[in-house]
Amino acid sequence: MGMELKTVNDTAVPSIGLGTWQMKGSECEQAVTQALEMGYRHVDTARIYDNEKMVGNGIQNAAIDRDDVFLTTKIWRTELEADEVRPAMEESLERLQTDHVDLVLIHWPNMGVPLDETLHAFQELQDDGLARNIGVSNFTERLLDRALEIAPSIITNQVETHPFHQQHEMASFCQDNDLLLTAYSPLARGQAVENDVITDIADKHGKEPAQVVLRWLTQRDNVVAIPKAAPKQYQRQNLNSIEFSLDADDMDKIGDLDRDEKLVDPGFAPW
C-alpha cells in the first residue's frame, strides 16, 4: 500500500499519522514500532505528553530508517520565550534520540509572550537544522494570519477537527495560504464512530465508521489527520482508510453533521 501524501511549501506529509496523546510507557513504545512496521510514516508527539522518550524508543526499534519518518513534536505554552525555545527543543531531541524533528509546533499560543519573539526563535531552530519545518497548533485564523506575516515558512496549523467541529473556514484559510490543516481528535474521542449517518455510510462501503471519518477528512484539500490508536487492528483500520473514496453524497451528509462542537476548550485558549 502506497502512502498518500499532502504537499505544501515543498514539504510532503503523510495524510494519516499516529497520534500519541495519552500514550505512556511500553504501550507507547510498542504502538509506535508496530505502526511504523505496518506502514505509518508520520508520528506526532509533544513535550507535554511526557512520552517523547518512548516515541524515540519506538522509532529506534522499528526496522525502518529514521529519515523515512515524518516526526512532529510541540513546545508547550510556558516555554515560548526566546531563551526557552532552543533548550526545550534540545531536550526533546535528546528524548527522541534524533538530531532533528521534521516539524516543531507552538502547542498553544501564549498571549503573554510576543508572537514574533517565539517565531523568530522557531525560525532559528529551522535555520540551524534542529527542525526541518515549523508550525503552530490551536491558532485562530487571526493569530495564524499574524504568524504568517512573521514566519512565512509555517506549514501547518494543528487544530481539533472532526464531523461535529469541521473547521471549514480554517481549512479554506489554510488552502488559500498553502498550509496544511492537521486534524487532531479526528474521531471526536469516539463519538463520531457511533453516529448513525456515519455508520450508514460505513455499511454502504463495507468499511468501519472510523475509516469513513478519516477518509472524509483526508479527501478534503490540505487536510491530514493524526488519530490515536495503540491496538494493531485499529492502527491498520486507520491506515487503510486511504484505500477507498467517499462520493459527493457521502461528503455532503457528513458535512451536515457540523455543529461547531469543541471537545478541547481550556481556559487559556485564544478564542
Q: Which domain holds residue 60?
A: 13-188+222-230
Q: Is residue 248 part of a domain?
A: no
Q: Is residue 207 part of a domain?
A: no
Q: pLDDT tens digit string along 186-242?
A: 999 999 999 999 999 999 999 999 999 999 999 999 999 999 999 999 999 999 999
* Distance (Å, whole) CA 135 – CA 270: 17
* Distance (Å, whole) CA 11 – CA 116: 23
Q: What is the pLDDT of residue 1?
A: 52
Q: What are phi and psi of 9, to 5 degrees?
A: 50, 40
This model's pTM is above 0.95? yes
Q: What is the pLDDT of residue 255?
A: 97
Grid-cell match 531552530, residue found: 125
What nine digits make up the cell of 200?
450508514
User: H-type helices in 39-167, by residue range?
Assistant: 52-61, 82-96, 115-127, 141-150
Q: Is residue 260 part of a domain?
A: no
Q: Is residue 258 part of a domain?
A: no
Question: Of 253, 243, 194, which is closest to residue 219 (Cα–Cα)?
Answer: 243
Q: Are 140 and 160 in contact (CB under 8 A)?
A: no
237: alpha, beta or left, given left = phi > 0 and alpha = psi -120 to 50?
alpha
Q: Is residue 95 part of a domain?
A: yes
Other C-beta atoms closer than 10 Å to the C-beta of 60 total 14
Confidence of residue 3 (pLDDT cuts 50, 70, 90): confident
Q: Are 214 and 225 in contact (CB under 8 A)?
A: yes
Q: Is residue 146 part of a domain?
A: yes
Q: Is residue 235 part of a domain?
A: no
* Distance (Å, whole) CA 37 – CA 236: 11
Grid-cell match 477537527, residue found: 161
Whether 49 is catalytic: yes
Mean model confidence pLDDT for the chain: 97
Check which CATH number belongs to the domain holding 72 and give it.
Answer: 3.20.20.100
Q: pLDDT tens digit string along 120-177?
A: 999 999 999 999 999 999 999 999 999 999 999 999 999 999 999 999 999 999 999 9
Q: Is residue 208 part of a domain?
A: no
Number of compact structural domains in the chain = 1
Instruction: Single out the catalytic residue among 40, 49, 184, 234.
Output: 49
DSSP conformation letters of 192-249: GGG-HHHHHHHHHHT--HHHHHHHHHHTSTTEEE--B--SHHHHHHHHGGGGS---HH
Show Cβ contacts of residue 141 under 8 Å, excluding neighbours closer than 6 positions: 169, 170, 173
Grid-cell match 516543531, residue found: 104
The mean pLDDT value for 104-119 works out to 98
pLDDT over 70 percentage in the chain: 99
